[in-house]
């Protein structure tokens, strides 16, 4: 179906001055890309945009709004225009962690947030190229916009769709802040109208679309098993972890996003803790010189930056550099891949931990003094190695020019756990192999999701 600029310009699209060739448009096929939670973008297609008469009335309204623009409005436009439509919502979660706010299972928040924004973006792209509504300034060349009109159809608003999805998911995780998130989403959507690049009806349709899709994502979150209570007991015996409150113990029972099961890539059993091989690894942990720079790096990788935020900052930085931030479907895809591979790798790593219940180095040799409190879960495999390897492999796939750098970052993250005295080297090797296997499954999916 072609309407609006599609009919007016045929190969050269956009009405008015027909500014863009079809080859210049942003991802005309993205509406068909594979989604994470919803069945497809087409299945959530929004109703048709308003007719020409209503659009004319909206243009008149927009001229009045643009004439009244003040510094506060300009600041809002600039704030929400930074990065892709999902950037500010990722940054919101990042900043909370950096401010030492406790977010239980923060990887769940990132995963459901990014999947909702991605699916909402894909559904928005389906409708954009189905209805082909011109941007306001293409319908009226005299309209002075505060931003360059994006090279895609106007309806529905991509920023509004991402904002509606993000605010609804965040309200599920932080229900006491629902009104604040809703206000933020409305401001994000309205900022595009105030910039002159979306009609008001584009934004309202985008918000509603994002909210509808978020409800589907929330339904999945409610059924992922993360709220189930653990009813097992801590096993005892030689080589067994010692403790009474094992962290993440029920995570192997969570529903993965892509893996067939939590044990799909379970590592082989670790060797007997009294073996010569383990004794050598324990000696290496005990004898390692814990001083600058290894000590500060170990603390860094235990911080919110190392655990969570810097991975998203790398992705955002590289998207700014290669202009992927101006391509909402690809930006949303990158964030979602980074978050979801973390989610499944974490489940898989904890499956290994609680399959074997292997003791930590300081439990085998009490003379080992770790740099900081040892996490309250078994040693083998290393969560850090699994999660860092999984994320660095996905980032290497998405940004191949940075592959060597990010793989070195991932290795350092794993090595830091030996430097801290809380893991054996065999934990790191098993974790890295596990993380790579999980990442390869996500990359295999990406190669078939329509974007490549």
Rounded Cα distance between 368 and 425, Å, is 15
* pLDDT tens readout for residues 209-227: 999 999 999 999 999 999 9
Rounded Cα distance between 112 and 340, Å, is 8
pLDDT at 19: 43
* pLDDT tens readout for residues 3-41: 343 333 332 333 333 444 566 899 999 999 999 999 999
Rounded Cα distance between 62 and 87, Å, is 26
* pLDDT tens readout for residues 98-136: 999 989 999 999 999 999 999 999 999 999 999 999 999
Q: Is 13 helix (H, G, I), strand (E, B) or coil?
A: strand
pTM of the model: 0.94
Rounded Cα distance between 29 and 428, Å, is 41
pLDDT at 24: 87
C-alpha angle 413-415-416 in degrees, rounded to nearest 5: 65
pLDDT at 22: 61
Nearby residues of 237 by Cβ (< 8 Å), 6 or more positions away? none
Cα-only R_g, the chain: 25
* pLDDT tens readout for residues 57-79: 999 999 999 988 899 999 999 99
Q: Positive or negative CA dihedral for 409, 411, 417, 420?
A: negative
pLDDT at 51: 94
**Cβ 145 vs Cβ 196: under 8 Å:** yes
3-state secondary structure 220-280: HHHCCCCCCCCCCCCCCCCCECCCCCCCCCCHHHCCCCCCCCCCCCCCCCCCCCCCHHHHH
Q: Is 20 helix (H, G, I), strand (E, B) or coil?
A: strand
Q: What helix, strand, coil percent values describe the chain, rounded to 5?
A: 60, 0, 35
Structural domains for the chain: 67-223 (1.10.606.20), 251-447 (1.10.606.20)
**Span 435-448, mean pLDDT?**
98
């Amino acid at each position: 179906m072609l309407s609006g600029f599609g009919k007016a310009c045929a190969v050269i699209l956009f009405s008015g001055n027909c500014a863009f060739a079809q080859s210049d448009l942003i991802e005309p096929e993205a509406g068909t890309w594979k989604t994470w939670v919803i069945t497809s973008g087409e299945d959530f297609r929004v109703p048709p945009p308003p007719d020409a008469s209503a659009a004319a009335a909206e243009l008149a309204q927009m001229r009045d709004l643009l004439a009244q623009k003040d510094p506060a409005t300009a600041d809002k436009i600039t704030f929400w225009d930074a990065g892709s439509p999902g950037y500010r919502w990722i940054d919101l979660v990042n900043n909370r962690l950096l401010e030492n706010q406790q977010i239980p299972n923060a990887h769940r928040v990132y995963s459901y947030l990014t999947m909702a924004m991605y699916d909402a973006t894909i559904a928005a792209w389906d409708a954009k190229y189905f209805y082909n509504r011109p941007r306001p300034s293409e319908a009226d060349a005299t309209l002075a916009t505060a931003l360059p009109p994006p090279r895609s159809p106007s309806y529905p608003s991509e920023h509004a769709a991402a904002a509606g999805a993000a605010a609804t998911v965040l309200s599920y995780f932080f229900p006491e802040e629902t009104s604040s998130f809703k206000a933020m989403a409305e401001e994000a959507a309205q900022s595009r109208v105030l910039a002159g690049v979306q009609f008001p009806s584009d934004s309202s349709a985008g918000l509603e679309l994002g909210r509808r899709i978020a409800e589907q994502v929330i339904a999945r979150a409610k059924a992922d098993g993360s709220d189930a209570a653990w009813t097992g007991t801590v096993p005892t015996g030689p080589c067994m972890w010692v403790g009474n409150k094992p962290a993440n113990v029920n995570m192997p029972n969570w529903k993965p996003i892509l893996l067939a099961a939590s044990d799909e890539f379970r590592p082989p059993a670790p060797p007997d803790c009294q073996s010569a091989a383990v004794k050598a690894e324990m000696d290496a942990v005990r004898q390692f010189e814990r001083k600058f720079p290894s000590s500060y790096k170990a603390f860094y990788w235990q911080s919110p930056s190392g655990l969570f935020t810097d991975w998203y900052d790398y992705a955002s930085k590289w998207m700014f550099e290669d202009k992927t931030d101006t391509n909402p479907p690809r930006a949303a895809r990158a964030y979602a891949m980074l978050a979801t591979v973390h989610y499944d790798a974490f489940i898989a790593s904890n499956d290994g931990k609680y399959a074997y219940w292997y003791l930590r180095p300081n439990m085998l040799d009490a003379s080992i003094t770790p740099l900081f409190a040892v996490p309250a879960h078994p040693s083998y495999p290393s969560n850090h190695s699994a999660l860092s390897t999984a994320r660095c492999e996905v980032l290497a796939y998405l940004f191949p020019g940075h592959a060597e750098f990010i793989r070195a970052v991932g290795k350092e993250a794993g090595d830091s756990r030996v430097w801290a005295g809380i893991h054996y080297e065999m934990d790191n090797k098993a974790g890295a192999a596990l993380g790579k296997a999980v990442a390869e499954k996500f990359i295999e999916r990406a190669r078939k999701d329509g974007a490549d």
